[in-house]
Amino acid sequence: MTQRDVSSIATRPQAAEDHPQRPTVFVVDDELGILDVVSRGLESAGYQTKTFSGGREFERAVAREAPDLCIMDLSLPDLDGVAILGELAAQDYKGRILLISGHSQQLLRSVSRLAEDYHLKVIGCVRKPFTIKPLLEALEAYPAKTFTPTREDVVQAIRNEDIVVRYQPIVSLPAGDVTGAEALVRWQHPTEGMLAPCRFLHKLEEKDMSELTSLVLRNVFQNRVLWAKAGLRLNVAVNVPIPTVLDPQFNSELYRLCERFQIALDGLTVEIPEGEMTADEKRLAAALSGLCLRGVRVAVDDFGTGYSSLSRLQRLPIDEVKIDKSFIRHCATHSEDKKIVAAVIALAHALDMEVVAEGVETEATAKLLSELGCDFAQGFLYGRAVTPSELTGLINL
């Protein structure tokens, strides 16, 4: 591509100023020159663009923000395009995908068919080297129709209780017995159907997340009572943003829920995201210690994607670490991922912490994790997020 390719579209009618709600495009390629030219070309054509040079960073960003379109190079140093497509399928990604590669057209067609088997929407394949024109033509042939809610839409859904809670089973290794579950949110939208959290969570502000956490906790406590009556003792994990953990009202709410449902906090795990662990360490340690004294377990979620240090892990009262799925899904086939997973398990055990592996999808992965001494696992191999009654049925099988 040349500067002339970009300049030729600078006056196109789709320019950004004419479209305040611009479609978002994520571009991943390990060639920085391509990223720069594609980004400037798309911006000139009216698209809001983010670029990534690594596959792991890209797939995590897609999970968080659910862009309208992904432009993907198939050959990346850390995670190849086929693996990324598998990740997007697991996320139930609904946007459009444009594949680019220097490999043969036959390979592009094969990967495109694979993506369709994953129920992903591939709108085209472009071979390198290329100009910006075929990319724009592919985009214009498939106008963006991705549902993009506003913050107000999501907040209203929370207050209307259109946000529902589902439970993904967590099993012990190597036995595979269901010992707990993670509470996950979905949006039961009247026209769009069941929406995954990547479609709406990023719209919420800090105070909104606290409101959502309250909704989840009420559901969790209600179902813990029902499970206890059925003779089931399950540990239930809830994702809680660190600002909510630090809010004194969080402790007060837990106390009120215990009183209302007449159930103790034993069996509740608070998961804090590793990426937010840069908060005031003294306040965080005090807040988490108070929870632990009342019987709550503390887990670090998405471990390996954030910035936590060994010293921080030692200073905080952490019971378990959850290894991020981007390392787990390919640890049975990628030696580097296997080394990372093995190191995290060894480190956690040395610090008297248990380990949960997220995103386990194959028997080979489960076998390897068992051999490495991982304590628990969750993922599609053991079950997707289901209703409370469906979870009870899984346990009673």
Q: Which band of pLDDT confidence, cut at 50, 70 and 90, is reported for residue 91?
A: confident
Same domain, residue pair 196 and 121:
no
**Residue 15: pLDDT band by 50, 70, 90 thresholds?**
very low
Please say which residue of 121, 141, 161 terminates a domain: 141
CATH code of residue 60: 3.40.50.2300
Question: Is pLDDT of 16 > 50?
Answer: no
Q: How many Å apart are CA 202 and CA 64, to the nearest integer? A: 7
347 and 272 in a common domain: yes
CA distances from 219 to 8, 119, 198 (A): 55, 32, 21
**134 and 221 within one domain:** no
Structural domain boundaries enclosing 79: 3-141
Of 141, 170, 204, the domain-final residue: 141
Q: What is the pLDDT of residue 145?
A: 58
> pTM (2 decimals)?
0.74
Does one domain contain both 8 and 107?
A: yes
* Cα radius of gyration (the chain): 22
Q: Say if 33 falls within a structural domain.
A: yes
- Say how many domains are in the chain: 2
- Rounded alpha-carbon distances, angstroms, from residue 231 to 224, 225, 227, 234, 392: 11, 10, 6, 10, 10
Residues 176 and 267 reside in one and the same domain? yes
Helical segments of the chain, H only: 3-7, 32-44, 55-65, 81-90, 105-117, 132-141, 151-159, 206-229, 242-246, 248-261, 281-293, 310-315, 325-328, 335-350, 363-372, 388-395
Regarding whether 268 and 181 lie in a shared domain, the answer is yes
What's the CA gap between 67 and 27, in Å, rounded?
10
Tell which of 141, 175, 195 closes a domain. Answer: 141
Q: Say if residue 111 is in the same domain as residue 187.
A: no
pLDDT digits 0-9 by tens, 141-191: 766 556 778 999 999 999 999 999 999 999 999 999 999 999 999 999 988
266-324 pLDDT, tens digit per residue, is: 999 999 988 777 668 889 999 999 999 999 999 999 887 666 666 677 889 999 999 98
Query: Using one digit for the tens of pLDDT, what is the confidence trace for 227-277?
Result: 999 999 899 999 999 999 999 999 999 999 999 999 999 999 999 988 777
Q: How far is CA 259 from CA 222, 229, 253, 267, 292, in A?
A: 12, 17, 10, 16, 18
Domain membership flag for residue 146 = no
C-alpha dist (Å) from residue 290 to 116, 269, 299: 49, 13, 15
Residues 98 and 165 in one domain: no
Same domain, 162 and 202: yes
Residue 329: pLDDT band with limits 50, 70, 90: confident
| Residue pair 366/360 in contact by the 8 Å Cβ criterion | yes
- Provide the β-strand partners of residue 96: 69, 121
Q: What is the DSSP letter of 143?
A: -
Name the helix (H) or strand (E) containing 197.
none
Domain-located, residue 358: yes
pLDDT mean across residues, the chain: 86
226 and 127 together in one domain: no
- Exposure letters 102-127 (e unless 16+ CB within 10 A, then b): eeeeebbeebbebbeebebebebbbe
> Is 233 within a domain?
yes
Q: What is the CATH number of the domain that holds 179?
A: 3.20.20.450
Q: Residue 103 and residue 136: Cα distance in Å, rounded?
A: 21
Are both 108 and 214 inside the same structural domain? Answer: no
In this structure, are residues 319 and 348 in contact, taking their beta carbons and an 8 Å threshold?
no
Q: How far apart are CA 323 and CA 340, in angstroms?
A: 10
Residues 295 and 196 in one domain: yes
